[in-house]
Amino acid sequence: MRASTTMLRPKLALMTDDRIVSMLANRALLDEFDVRVFQSSAPDFVSAVGDFAPLVVVIRDVLAMGSAVEAMAALRRDVRLSNARIVVLSNAGENGDFYLSGGAAAFVTIPFTADHLRDTVLRVVKDTRTILYAEDSRVLHRLVVPPLLEEGYTVIETYDGREAFAVLESGRKVDLVLSDIDMPVLDGLGFCHAAKADARFRHIPFVLLTAREGEEAVHAGFSAGADDYLMKPVVVPEMLARIERFLGSHAEQRDERILVVEPDTNAAHVLERSLATHSLGCDFAHDAESARTMLESGRYALAIVECKLPVVDGVTLVRQLREASRTRDLPIIMTSESDSLGEQIRVRSVGPQSFVVKPFPPDRLLAEVERTLANSRHRRQVAAMRGYLSEGAIEAIERRSTDGDVEPRAEATFRTVFFLDIVGFTSLCENLAPLTVVRFLNTFFDDVVPTLTKHGASIDKFIGDCVMALFPRELSGPQRAVAASLEIIDRLPALRMRTGIDVHVRIGINAGPVVIGDIGSAHHRRDFTVIGDHVNVAARLQTSAGIDEVFVSETVAKQLSTGFSVTEVGFLPVKGRREAVRAFSVRADGPVPQSPPVSSKSSR
């Protein structure tokens, strides 16, 4: 049985109502298309065109029944023609944009050459996706083919695997193969295996249709190289959705690139096509050595690694990647044909993000890929946020995104509050270029912040040249804050030498109950910070301190252990507060005392 010829030469309807134009167009297109001429003056001409079911309709802009716009609208009202490609012919070249914006696929100016018209229409047809359908049941042809035509696909109908493979070898354009498994002469599995074994055709997505059930049947289909697998009876909407996944217009390729480490070329190309349906690009490595070299470039967001690799197996490769600093945190999905408990333990021991057993449906792997990439993006975003937000703010964001709670949260707690600013920063800005000021501030904070965090602080915010930090509510908080302050001051001479800028600081520290939580607009921007009288007192102590001096409150002074020299400096008025604050200056007696280790519960 020969392949159906109804789509081997695409159908083309020619509507010009002009004998000369019709003759020229017919002569130009007859070799490539099944051309039929229609007169718009004929009764029920739209119904006649619909019965013909052309892939392309070529229309003259002036017709007996009216304009080309009216003819296009009439054709579109017939559901059989809703996906036909329309090419408009016109003497008025300036009208091209008008017709193209109105839904025409192409525009050709009269007079035209035969080559120009033929090339234009062929280009329109080339943009049409072609499905090769192999099925020995004529009943199923009547069920499956019409919905595909209505979606605008060209369908080449065949009735056996050998016949379908001959279509591929003929050079006809095929974008996807839809094939039954149980067929005479050459069944669907044999057809699929032959197509995937041929370098000319292995890039074509192959979808198997079958009534066979069970894991063994699915395994056989994917082992033959199929890209997807659909059960009979055919559910038309699901079939169309699966085809659209392979042939639909995909979004611009994503920035995340994947390395597929797979020795089987066919399996690698199946993965490539599956990833492409989610706009993900990939590269290939066929062994561990080439994979390591490629991954060291740092350009990959994810690696999919097969366990069974030549020379060095996949498990050993992943272990090596985990031991290398550049690839230690690389997300990895491992695949294997074995699902034995021993294999699972061996794979899990090297820490991949996921493990998928072959053969797997494309959706299964894609779900793991998207989940792994999403988790990786989340980790990178949190890491990036740590440079801009306090730990408390990040925790609040994660809690809010997890439980969906949009209500502001707050709690009364104990904190040691630290303020630091640079002495004479305004004058410094007046004498330095803006970019120099920014570079200096970043260098300064790069020196100060690690010292604070080493002593257990969390950075609440930067306010210009000022740093606000919080120390945990445990009893050692005041001592940690003072020790960090004195170490910062001790490091200033080296910072002055390094930057060439005569930098000095003032520091203020207070401890006591504060309110910590979401502060700001519920609909726009919020800050996760602390407020309260004790915060104001710490800020006032900082502004009152001398050059390279640390002022603390009485609460802080009383909790300092030996190793510090504490001197009372008197009472300081605080704006909005009736009582003045008793202030103390603190220096170290010898080396700066070290803070005790930070406990895991001290951050709250």
- Amino acid at the residue 328: R
The pLDDT value given to residue 532: 84
The whole-number average pLDDT for the span 266-270 is 83
Q: Measuring CA to CA, which residue among 552, 229, 257 is closest to residue 361?
A: 229
294-308, pLDDT tens digit by residue?
998 888 999 999 999
- Lowest mean pLDDT of 46-55, 112-121, 360-369, name the range: 360-369
Residues pairing with 410 in the sheet = 517
Between 126 and 531, residue with greater pLDDT: 531
pLDDT over threshold 60, residue 183: yes
3-state secondary structure of 286: coil
- Asked if 176 contacts 190 with a C-beta cutoff of 8 angstroms, the reply is no
Q: Which residues contact 404 (CB under 8 A, 6 or more apart)?
A: none
The pLDDT value given to residue 249: 54
Q: What is the DSSP letter of 79?
A: G
* pTM attached to this predicted model: 0.51
Residues pairing with 207 in the sheet = 178, 228
Question: Residue with structure tokens 């001290």?
Answer: 602
30-83, pLDDT tens digit by residue?
888 889 999 888 888 888 988 888 888 999 988 888 888 888 888 878 877 766
- Round to whole Å and give the CA distance between 153 and 49: 18
302-353, pLDDT tens digit by residue?
999 999 999 999 999 999 999 998 999 999 999 998 888 888 899 999 999 9
- Round to whole Å and give the CA distance between 136 and 158: 8
Which parts of 440-548 are beta strand (E)? 458-463, 466-471, 505-520, 526-531
- Asked if 573 contacts 601 with a C-beta cutoff of 8 angstroms, the reply is no
78-102, pLDDT tens digit by residue?
877 766 788 999 988 888 888 887 7
Predicted confidence band of residue 370 (pLDDT cuts 50, 70, 90): confident
Q: Which residues contact 329 (CB under 8 A, 6 or more apart)?
A: none
The whole-number average pLDDT for the span 127-145 is 88
Query: Which domains are seen in the chain, by residue range?
Result: 11-126 (3.40.50.2300), 130-247 (3.40.50.2300), 257-383 (3.40.50.2300), 404-588 (3.30.70.1230)
Mean pLDDT is highest, among 121-135, 171-185, 199-213, 578-592, for: 171-185
Q: Measuring CA to CA, which residue among 38, 112, 110 is closest to residue 75?
A: 38
- Report how far apart, in Å, the C-alpha atoms of 392 and of each of 9, 42, 388 are: 67, 77, 12
